Amino acid sequence: KNEVEQSPQNLTAQEGEFITINCSYSVGISALHWLQQHPGGGIVSLFMLSSGKKKHGRLIATINIQEKHSSLHITASHPRDSAVYICAVRSEETSGSRLTFGEGTQLTVNP
């Protein structure tokens, strides 16, 4: 079993829909990252969370440390949100720059 599991692996939505991507992990963590990988391959950091909730524009990320679970929500989805979304965790036992990644969720938003 991977340390970081994402669901779903693939997600297709219609423009305007509310989207949720889930990330579960099995180790104690000091931080969790959400990343976005564009169709061209470039990777952008969206959020880093250690507790609670963060919001940036139409994106919301939440984390429940006790349940070892995080969600990424996209409100009013748009075709330009089509990308791979990747969850990554930093274990409590490792140093500040060692990350373990989920396999990613491929999101397609149709107009």
Positions that interact with other proteins (CB under 8 A): 31, 33, 35, 41-45, 48, 86, 88, 95-104
Judged by CB, which is closer to other proteins: 45, or 75? 45
Rounded least distance, CB 26 to other proteins, Å: 15
The CA-atom distances, in angstroms, between 99 and each of 15, 40, 46, 61, 107 are 32, 23, 15, 18, 22
Catalogue the E-assigned strands of the chain: 4-7, 10-14, 19-25, 29-37, 43-49, 52-56, 59-64, 69-74, 83-91, 100-101, 105-110
Rounded least distance, CB 111 to other proteins, Å: 27
Judged by CB, which is closer to other proteins: 42, or 111? 42
Rounded least distance, CB 95 to other proteins, Å: 6
